[in-house]
Amino acid sequence: MNDLKLFKQKFDVHLERYLEKQIENISKFTKDSSILKNIHYLRKVSLSGGKRIRPYLAYLMYQAFSGKENEEILEFLVFLEIFHTFCLIHDDIMDKSDLRHGVPTAHAYISNSLKQEGRIGDIGHTGSSQAILLGDLLFSWSQEIINSNKNFSREIIDLVNVYFYKMVDEVVVGQMIDVDIATRKKVSKELIDNKTMLKTAGYSFTTPLLIGSALSGNTDKNIETFCGKFGLAMGIAFQTQDDLLDITSSNSKLGKPTSSDKSQNQHTYFTYFPSLEYGKRIIMDNFRQAKELVEKLKIKNLYRQKFLNFVEAIEKRTF
Amino acid sequence: MNDLKLFKQKFDVHLERYLEKQIENISKFTKDSSILKNIHYLRKVSLSGGKRIRPYLAYLMYQAFSGKENEEILEFLVFLEIFHTFCLIHDDIMDKSDLRHGVPTAHAYISNSLKQEGRIGDIGHTGSSQAILLGDLLFSWSQEIINSNKNFSREIIDLVNVYFYKMVDEVVVGQMIDVDIATRKKVSKELIDNKTMLKTAGYSFTTPLLIGSALSGNTDKNIETFCGKFGLAMGIAFQTQDDLLDITSSNSKLGKPTSSDKSQNQHTYFTYFPSLEYGKRIIMDNFRQAKELVEKLKIKNLYRQKFLNFVEAIEKRTF
């Protein structure tokens, strides 16, 4: 089993524990079984699938710069995955996706439940509304985890917040572009790049690394350059690879219908590329660049190797 | 001009300044004019109408318990109104409301813009998606204001967070009930009470008071009893009054169509009351109870009078 899979096993214990505690807490606000049933579904959405890339990168960076291997930090890093689940729930509403990681998305699950219960009115809309609220709850929880923590110094949490709030602005604006693009007949490559920078590079790679660095107590500002460059290379490679898989992969492997991007008038990198081969070259070049950046990073060989393994796991999608 | 109107004048200067700064900041993430136009609309949504009840109550409590009248705190209290605007934007999507305070709601504005620009696809859905994202942005900003503040001690901010995060859970669960209720043929009065406690009493009255108390440095835990009881009485009175106005008031005054609740299969207190008179009695009794609680509160007469004026302004809706 590779590092990322091992990490997921350990991390998910904390994630599950946290969700159970929160769902238990929420039960003091209402006794209504329909509402509680929807909230319980958060556990399923969050724990079904998902690679835990973001907390893994933060943890790796934390280890590399603090030399510590303590697992208490995993409890804190749960905020990244709670935030990610919030993003997925809201994204799935916007994309009208009914399935993710092989299970019904939040809005689809709730709409189905209401239908089965013989509810009246616009059931589809109600499912989306409840899913918006489930997402809002997770978004709140993610920030509560950061700001109710007592294990890190005020200075460290302040820096985490600086990175976190910048990332939220980025990922929201990135998603705004994504949503807007689907209504346009023509889109510039510049705008697709803009979206990838914000939604993928910054959100999935650069910021988790910065947060891991901040938590380690690292105060060397130069690390921001590495995180930015590594994130950009990984973001472009990953997004292009994702676009490619959307064209070529089979339904069952992704857990969602293939060519869903195209059917929704989604503009991808392959709109601009002369061939699939050209796209594959972009992917390869950027993964190589990411590895070169890691080679130059001044950390212990053990962690350097873990970084390289990570890039390869993403490259081969063996996670 | 009454206290609340004077407060709004002073407060809105800070609110506007904050929004302009944030919108300026966001402009570094994209140059796309469609996206920026949507984000700019946040200024209009937030500054058109609204009574500023929540920051006013927090300010009043802060003054009463600290004796200070400094206006720097208004800059901080902007977070309550930013959070409130987030709630309104998401609520309006769920209620399919196209108008609030006489101006188009976020989703309606964006859908109209896209239509005028000749965009393709499901324009209505895209408008809602963008409005979800505008709300997410504000939700994030409200918490960033709290947690990036350097003027208050860590202990004070920690207490603000305790109250704030409890309130978010409350208001989200309250809204979940509100949304769910519209799909039911029959609803218990217990559930309507549950909703009012969470969405109105806690959110609009109790929590702003608690936050004002925390910011004043007041550490007397007994204050929580006053805030809870006052909030409950005001919440019931206000919600019942709102339901009554929805039945009786004219379109132009509320800035939204009348009987919009009924047309959406909304269950209100008047579903259970034998008569309008009975409802009016509930309203009167609860406003009187709120005033009695204020009479017993150990604060300077100046602030006691301001509290009483506030209850009366709400009672007579002269704000």
Q: Encode pLDDT of A78-103 as tens digits.
A: 999 999 999 999 999 999 999 999 99
Q: Token digits for A205?
A: 């790679």
> Among B44, B111, B25, which residue's Cα sits nearest to residue A168?
B25
Residue of B nearest to A129 (CA): B94
DSSP state of B121: S
Q: Is the pLDDT of residue B258 over 60?
A: no
The predicted pLDDT at position A266 comes to 66
**pLDDT, average across residues A149-160:** 94
Q: Are A143 and B147 inside 8 Å of each other by CB?
A: yes
Per-residue DSSP letters for A48-61? SS---HHHHHHHHH
Cβ-proximal residues to B292 (8 Å cutoff; 6+ apart), any chain: none
C-alpha–C-alpha distance, residues B10 and A314, integer Å: 53
CB A150 within 8 A of CB A81: no
Cβ count within 10 A of residue B214: 26
Judged by a CB distance cut-off of 8 A, whether residue B188 touches chain A is no
C-alpha–C-alpha distance, residues A80 and B54, integer Å: 31
Cβ-proximal residues to A125 (8 Å cutoff; 6+ apart), any chain: B94, B96
Q: Are A184 and B137 inside 8 Å of each other by CB?
A: no
Residues 268-297 of chain B whose Cβ lies under 8 A from any Cβ of chain A: none
**pLDDT, average across residues A157-172:** 97
Q: Is the pLDDT of residue A120 over 70?
A: yes
Cα B239 versus chain centre, distance: 13
**pLDDT, average across residues A124-130:** 98
The predicted pLDDT at position B265 comes to 63
Judged by a CB distance cut-off of 8 A, whether residue B96 touches chain A is yes
Q: Are A168 and B137 inside 8 Å of each other by CB?
A: yes
Q: How far is CA A315 from CA A197, A251, A312, in A?
A: 18, 20, 5
Q: Are A32 and B144 inside 8 Å of each other by CB?
A: no
Q: Is the pLDDT of residue A25 over 70?
A: yes
**pLDDT, average across residues A230-238:** 97
Tell me the H-state helices in A154-264: 154-181, 189-196, 207-216, 223-248, 251-254, 260-263
The predicted pLDDT at position B266 comes to 66
C-alpha–C-alpha distance, residues B54 and B60, integer Å: 10
The predicted pLDDT at position A262 comes to 47
The predicted pLDDT at position B219 comes to 87
The predicted pLDDT at position B90 comes to 97
The predicted pLDDT at position B247 comes to 85
Q: Are A165 and B144 inside 8 Å of each other by CB?
A: yes
Interface test with B, best of A90, A111, A136, A177 (most B CBs within 10 A): A136
The predicted pLDDT at position B252 comes to 46
Q: Is the pLDDT of residue A253 over 70?
A: no
**pLDDT, average across residues A12-26:** 97
φ and ψ at A162, to 5 degrees?
-60, -45
**pLDDT, average across residues B22-35:** 95
pLDDT tens readout for residues A191-227: 999 999 999 999 999 999 999 999 999 988 899 999 9
Cross-chain CB nearest to B169 (options A26, A132, A175): A26
Q: Is the pLDDT of residue A48 over 90?
A: yes
Residue of B nearest to A141 (CA): B165
Residues 99-138 of chain B whose Cβ lies under 8 A from any Cβ of chain A: 114, 119-121, 123, 125-126, 129-130, 132-133, 136-137
Name the band, by pLDDT with cuts 50, 70 and 90, for residue A267.
confident
Q: Is the pLDDT of residue B257 over 70?
A: no
* Residues in chain B within 8 Å Cβ distance of A137: 168-169, 172
Q: Specify burial of residue B288 (Cβ count, 10 A radius: 0-12, 13-18, 19+).
A: middle
The predicted pLDDT at position B255 comes to 52
C-alpha–C-alpha distance, residues B84 and B50, integer Å: 10
The predicted pLDDT at position A251 comes to 47
C-alpha torsion sign, points A71, A75, A80, A82: positive
Q: Are A161 and B154 inside 8 Å of each other by CB?
A: no
Tell me the H-state helices in B148-222: 154-181, 189-196, 207-216
* Residues in chain A within 8 Å Cβ distance of B125: 94, 96
Judged by a CB distance cut-off of 8 A, whether residue B144 touches chain A is yes
Coarse DSSP helix, strand, coil percentages of chain B, rounded to the nearest 5 percent: 75, 0, 25
Cross-chain CB nearest to B29 (options A133, A182, A198): A198
CB A173 within 8 A of CB B26: yes
Averaged pLDDT of chain B:
92
**pLDDT, average across residues A283-308:** 96
Residue of A nearest to B138 (CA): A169
Judged by a CB distance cut-off of 8 A, whether residue A93 touches chain B is yes
**pLDDT, average across residues A39-46:** 97
DSSP state of B206: I
